Structure 1
Amino acid sequence: MQTTRRWHLHAGLLALWFVVSFGAVFFARDLQWQLLSWPVGFWFAAQGAVLVFIAIVVVFAWRANRREAEAPTFDPRAYGRYTRTLHQRFGIYVATLLLLLGALAVAEQFGLSKPWVAGIFLTTTLMMYAVIGVVGRTADANEYYVAGRRVPGIYNGMATAADWMSAASFISLAGGLYLQGFSGAGGQPGGLAYVLGWTGGFCLVALLVAPYLRRMNLYTVPDYFAVRFGGRWPRMLAALAAVLCSFTYVVAQLYGVGLITSRLTGVNFEIGILLGLGGVLVCSFLGGMRAVTWTQVTQYVIIILAFLIPVSWLSYKQTGNPLAPLAYGQQLPKIAAMEQQFLNSPVEQEVIGIYTQRAATLERKLQNVEESLQQERQELRQQLRAMGDIKADNTQAQTLRRELAALPKDAATARERWTKARVDNLERAQPLGGMPLHAQPFAGKPGGVGDTPQDTQTSRLNFLALMFCLMVGTAGLPHLLTRYYTTPSVAETRRSVAWSLVFIALLYLSAPALAVLVKYEVMAHLVGQPMDALPGWMAQWSRDPTLLTVADVNGDHILQFAELRVGADLVMLATPEIGGLPYVISVLVAAGGLAAALSTADGLLLTIGNALAHDVYFEGSGNKAQAMRRVMWSKFALLVVALVAAYAAAQRPAGILYLVSASFSLAGAAFVPSMVLGIFWPRMTRVGAVGSMLAGLGVTIYYMGVNLPSLRAALGLQGEGLWWGIQPVSAGVFGVLAGFVVGFLLSCITRPEPMPERDLAPDLG
């Protein structure tokens, strides 16, 4: 009866999770009535579901911990003194950080230059991370891999939140919501799928994975496959899968490190990556999980302050209420009205027509690249000769000479440049610059113009698929699951998952608010302004065309919405300047983005190094001396992987959000089917686990690869390779299904191995 009740607890909470995340979102387009200026469907996806997810995790921890009597593995009095000391140190740190910010703000008002403000704050934070790394240095395996298993749940929750809120969450999430609205445009999923996926996944972590892995006293995720299934292949495949998904993820983080460091210091992007990488290595290389844990706790405070201060100020400035998640709903109807105004504006249509004409001109050039290039070169030379004949002023001649020098040197370069420019102009020739109506769920086309039922269905399907991959991937990411090995007990692990989601939700509830507030600021206060009256921050950020471009396309010297392009990574970084806050807050935001990227990179690099040394090379067995050698090899592997990842990030392979989302698909397909079946189904076999991982990874990698434009062109493949219109970033939806099916079928036809002594399945508390 007790086991049945425990099954009921799991089944009931999982059913609630499914209905809230997939059921309510599926009907979001039907939930369009207004409640206190909020469209109900938008509010539920942006906030309501997140609050329910928190309730699910909290209720599970409370009920399961009440039912399960767990003998403490430590002296309660000594541990109580230890936690009180931690609380005191944490309070002193937060107070000192706030005093430093206040002192720099006052010094700025008294004339302290911006470089000094940035230098002092950046140097202070990096030195703090370095000191923690040096003080926490260790060669003890238990400390290096799992921080001695004595991190209290609340602090492990902060560390997990910092580990989780990567560059994608801090830098790109609000910008992605600004550009994608509720659900993205056309077949490109996005928007609130990230908020739902990255919070709802913690319900799976709490209910299906983390407590059961913690009970086994493991060091790494591949350790589970070795203990549960035995043999060499399950552990090896798990280790290689951990390296694959973590490497994809860490490249995105180092990309963010380079972006922020170059912004703070003014150095080149590549040098910025190396500078930030030094901060990562000091902690993870010297102290492993012990140093990384306490560094991430300090980084969480910087991250959350850096996010909440600007968004609260912008909310207060626009609505009179600093609680942005409660207030930004009143801006949604205003944005909807301005979107319709822009869609119907003759001036906006004129700009769109110019972009369309440019795209058509480039299309004609691409039909015969060699001839078009020669013709354009001859025309410029003839104009120069004509100007020489009539003695035109030197300024016009210099302009023509620059245009001539800027022409592509050969046909191949011209084809590449003109193709890219054509795509760019076609995107900008769409209504609202290709952005969907912000509050409209599942818009098929940019601006929601001319939607068909098929467009809406494709958009909804992609949204749900991406959300599923992010949720399942959350339950499979090795660097996240390893964080829950550091708590003193299984009960503390459950509490830690709940704390993690609470701390994460502080940012994820505010990110949609920031996107709306910035969009209102742009639409209401920038669009329609004379070009020579635009704020100074726009000129500074427009130096990087990937972040901001402003062009007077129609020559009326007035900024139109279609003439402005905002990059996803700009929205958060430029918020202090948009809101008119002191420069020290801009530095805090940049430091917060750097802390988010560094904290996640720490955990990822540690996971990769441990997988290579602990699981692949040494296979996790041996005496104390061998354990120390494994730690040293983990450090060496970490250093090598860090340098390779830095090189990959310097190539700017893709956007941060895309790389991170791809790693979630890989992690979910590789780990979750075999891990969940192994935990809850005693009949799961070694052959089933190996087949599950190979099938999940194989299907996911195949679907991503076969839909790469370069690969399709190389193989001569025609048309699209999409299944049911689902985009490659959500390939994990097929990989997870394949993993479960193959794992189940192979286990049914093979003989199971004996369950380990540390049995997982019977106790579902």
Structure 2
Amino acid sequence: MSQFTINMLFVGGSFALYIAIAIWSRAASTKEFYVAGSGVNPVVNGMATAADWMSAASFISMAGIISAGGYGSSTYLMGWTGGYVLLAMLLAPYLRKFGKFTVPQFIGDRFYSSGARLTAVVCLIVISVTYVIGQMTGAGVAFSRFLEVSSTAGLIIAAIVVFFYAVLGGMKGITYTQVAQYVVLIIAYTIPAIFISIHLTGNPIPPLGLFSDHTQSGVPLLSKLDSVVRELGFQDYTADVPNKLNMTLLTLSLMIGTAGLPHVIIRFFTVPKVADARWSAGWALVFIALLYLSAPAVAAMARLNLLTTIYPDGAEQASIRYEDRPDWIKNWEATGLIKYEDKNNDGRIQYYNDAPAFQQTAQERGWNGNEMTVNNDIIVLANPEIANLPAWVVGLIAAGGLAAALSTAAGLLLAISSAISHDLIKGWIKPDISDRGELLAARISMAVAIVVSTWLGINPPGFAAQVVALAFGIAAASIFPALMLGIFSKRVNSIGAICGMLAGFISTVVYIFLYLGWFFIPGTATFANTEANWLLGISPLSFGAVGAVINFVVALTVSAFTAPPPKKIQELVESVRYPRGAGAATGH
């Protein structure tokens, strides 16, 4: 049986399962569409939350980022994990206590303002749309390689599948589909990791294998990796990070951005009561940990396998000839995610860091510039092929990558749909809309959102590479402070909340667009994306934390000089934070 046939069986079987679940769990009311009727079991919700949270960025990109950057890129692992803990401990139970359907509805009711609700809707749509581009792009990458179709065709197929189970089932259908997707993605992620860990270290547990001895050389795996990358001019894999400020701010930005992601927050509205929100948060953390504990091992082992495939006898010896390159390189070259140019006409592959500090050594070896470009996003997807694992493992990883992308895409699309139908149409344009009319509006909104996100995935804007950073930065600077102040401060009023959200949102968007080089600096012919041009040396990827501080300061300052919230709002905040017994009975 060919590899293509195996891939089709795994991917097609998983898609059939998702659509069958959607038909079985079709939403019949707005409550089922928005929050699955608030009757989801905590364990089931925890698994669905894990799938919703672990997007293509977690499954496909995170290990690739760590693989390329080593210790310095572990900030993504720390930030995303810490952010989920922050969300679970500080926000989820209290938001569930309010008993609302959406994040903008909570903000509108807490700050007694339709203007605050509309501001939150705008922020939510921008966050979700920018984030969903990455998911659709990830689906396109997986399709283009494993199903041997163009990325455009892959995106359209993915959109059709999401359309069926998201539009039909709403949150109810998405919840049970995400449970299936979690099972697929976690099996797909861990099985190759176990195989590779056994091969390289003899240890079947990848997180422990990372700190075990390399089987072939007998030295610790990380020491072996350090020596290999050092021979190729790269910084040691375990090297410290010189710019601690940026690392700290990026970690913080990812943490609070995570805690402000609306598609994850709404998952905690689906359980029957507040105690269930806490339990589902705990279960989700367990399910997330299964992948996140393996990611550093997958990253390091994939990097070592990649380099030793090209330089089987070490960098100082001859690299492999291009005509003898393994099949996995040929397969990924066809997607354009691996590119090769023979710069010294020797017919061999020279893959190294051609930074100025290494140029003399490179010239001594007869190298004339790095000849291979490897996209970080292929590391996890190509891992089974690099390690020569069985064909069925390759098919499994294909299904897993698509499950990760589609599960988060569905959650984001539902957040967009809910914001438009429930917060914009029912809360602003037509408050007297019927339940049936609102459900129809929700489905139409989601269908339109799918079409738009697919189009953006096919024709990504110039900033698509930084789309995840933009989404997290905006969530950190706009939504998270509003939620925190809404729960833990009785003094912040509607004017302060609106001004704070706008200040955080605008400052972050302007900084990211300006300093990532999407605008030209007036009077120059160069882009602004250099550390010398950054404000106080702060990377655009790290500015979300600064935007959050601006939001907090503006909201608190404006509130201090304006009238306090009405007494009933202050009592509402106090009742949510200090329940008096009613919550245990009602769950609200």
TM above 0.5:
yes
Classify 1:335/1:114 alpha carbon distance in 2 versus 1 (closer, same or farther; 3 Å): closer
8 Å Cα contact 2:98/2:576 also seen in 1 = no
TM-superposed deviation, 1:308: 0.3
1:467 aligns with 2:357: no
CA deviation profile, 1:206-252 (whole Å, cap 9, x unmatched): 23211111001110001111221112101110111110101000011
1:485 aligns with 2:287: no
Q: Which residue does the alignment assign to 1:577?
A: 385
In 2, distance between residues paired with 1:289 and 1:559?
49
Letter aligned with residue 739 of structure 1: N
Instruction: Tell which structure's C-alpha radius of gyration is larger.
Output: 1
Q: Which residue does the alignment assign to 1:439?
A: 238
- Which residue, 119, 135, 149 being the options, matches 1:253? 135
Classify 1:674/1:660 alpha carbon distance in 2 versus 1 (closer, same or farther; 3 Å): same
In 1, distance between residues paired with 2:498 and 2:289?
35
Q: Which residue does the alignment assign to 1:539?
A: 330
In 1, distance between residues paired with 2:285 and 2:206?
19
- Which residue, 153, 159, 173 being the options, matches 1:291? 173
Q: Which residue does the alignment assign to 1:674?
A: 482
Q: Which residue does the alignment assign to 1:51?
A: none
Q: Which residue does the alignment assign to 1:634?
A: 442
In 1, distance between residues paired with 2:564 and 2:437?
34
Q: Which residue does the alignment assign to 1:650?
A: 458
Percent identical:
37
In 1, distance between residues paired with 2:196 and 2:143?
25
Letter aligned with residue 406 of structure 2: L
Q: Which residue does the alignment assign to 2:375?
A: 567
In 2, distance between residues paired with 1:710 and 1:544?
26
Q: Which residue does the alignment assign to 2:562?
A: 750
Q: Which residue does the alignment assign to 1:404?
A: none
Classify 1:326/1:620 alpha carbon distance in 2 versus 1 (closer, same or farther; 3 Å): farther
- Which residue, 8, 12, 15 being the options, matches 1:123? 12
Q: Which residue does the alignment assign to 2:546?
A: 734
In 1, distance between residues paired with 2:495 and 2:525?
35
1:553 aligns with 2:435: no
Give runs of aligned pairs for residues 583-732 of structure 1, distance below 5 A: 583-619=391-427, 626-653=434-461, 658-713=466-521, 716=524, 721-732=533-544
CA deviation profile, 1:95-122 (whole Å, cap 9, x unmatched): xxxxxxxxxxxxxxxxx23332222222
1:513 aligns with 2:302: no
Letter aligned with residue 743 of structure 1: A
Aligned residues: 540
Classify 1:740/1:715 alpha carbon distance in 2 versus 1 (closer, same or farther; 3 Å): farther
In 1, distance between residues paired with 2:408 and 2:87?
18
Letter aligned with residue 148 of structure 2: G
Classify 1:624/1:122 alpha carbon distance in 2 versus 1 (closer, same or farther; 3 Å): farther
Letter aligned with residue 285 of structure 2: L
8 Å Cα contact 2:55/2:405 also seen in 1 = yes
Secondary structure of the residue aligned to 2:272 is coil
TM-superposed deviation, 1:761: 6.1
In 2, distance between residues paired with 1:641 and 1:622?
20
1:135 aligns with 2:17: no
- Which residue, 216, 224, 233 being the options, matches 1:334? 224
What is the CA RMSD across the aligned residues, in angstroms? 2.1
8 Å Cα contact 1:256/1:656 also seen in 2 = no
8 Å Cα contact 1:172/1:657 also seen in 2 = no
- Which residue, 77, 88, 111 being the options, matches 1:206? 88
TM-superposed deviation, 1:266: 1.7
1:503 aligns with 2:392: no
1:167 aligns with 2:49: no
8 Å Cα contact 2:145/2:331 also seen in 1 = no
Which shifted more, 602-611 or 225-234? 225-234
Give runs of aligned pairs for residues 256-271 of structure 1, distance below 5 A: 256-271=138-153
- Which residue, 301, 315, 324 being the options, matches 2:197? 315
Q: Which residue does the alignment assign to 1:759?
A: 573
In 2, distance between residues paired with 1:582 and 1:620?
55
1:523 aligns with 2:412: no
TM-superposed deviation, 1:322: 1.3
8 Å Cα contact 2:94/2:576 also seen in 1 = no
In 2, distance between residues paired with 1:658 and 1:623?
37
In 2, distance between residues paired with 1:597 and 1:616?
27
Classify 1:627/1:716 alpha carbon distance in 2 versus 1 (closer, same or farther; 3 Å): farther
8 Å Cα contact 1:168/1:657 also seen in 2 = no
8 Å Cα contact 1:662/1:730 also seen in 2 = no
Letter aligned with residue 533 of structure 1: D
In 1, distance between residues paired with 2:134 and 2:33?
25
8 Å Cα contact 2:114/2:428 also seen in 1 = no
In 2, distance between residues paired with 1:496 and 1:764?
21
Secondary structure of the residue aligned to 2:554 is helix
Letter aligned with residue 501 of structure 1: L
In 2, distance between residues paired with 1:335 and 1:505?
25
TM-superposed deviation, 1:654: 6.1
In 2, distance between residues paired with 1:620 and 1:626?
14
In 2, distance between residues paired with 1:636 and 1:624?
18
8 Å Cα contact 2:488/2:573 also seen in 1 = no
In 2, distance between residues paired with 1:633 and 1:153?
29
In 2, distance between residues paired with 1:681 and 1:297?
36
Secondary structure of the residue aligned to 2:339 is strand
CA deviation profile, 1:701-749 (whole Å, cap 9, x unmatched): 1111222424124675976541121121222122101100001011111
TM-score (norm 2): 0.88
Give the gaps of 5 or more residues in structure 1: 1-111, 184-190, 343-430, 443-455
CA deviation profile, 1:69-97 (whole Å, cap 9, x unmatched): xxxxxxxxxxxxxxxxxxxxxxxxxxxxx
CA deviation profile, 1:600-635 (whole Å, cap 9, x unmatched): 000000100110111012108999962221121111
In 2, distance between residues paired with 1:541 and 1:615?
44
Secondary structure of the residue aligned to 1:127 is helix
Secondary structure of the residue aligned to 1:181 is helix
8 Å Cα contact 1:174/1:514 also seen in 2 = yes
Which shifted more, 223-232 or 161-170? 223-232
8 Å Cα contact 1:695/1:742 also seen in 2 = yes
Give the gaps of 5 or more residues in structure 2: 212-219, 312-318, 353-370, 580-588
In 1, distance between residues paired with 2:462 and 2:547?
22
Secondary structure of the residue aligned to 2:164 is helix
In 2, distance between residues paired with 1:267 and 1:544?
9
Q: Which residue does the alignment assign to 2:359?
A: none
TM-score (norm 1): 0.68
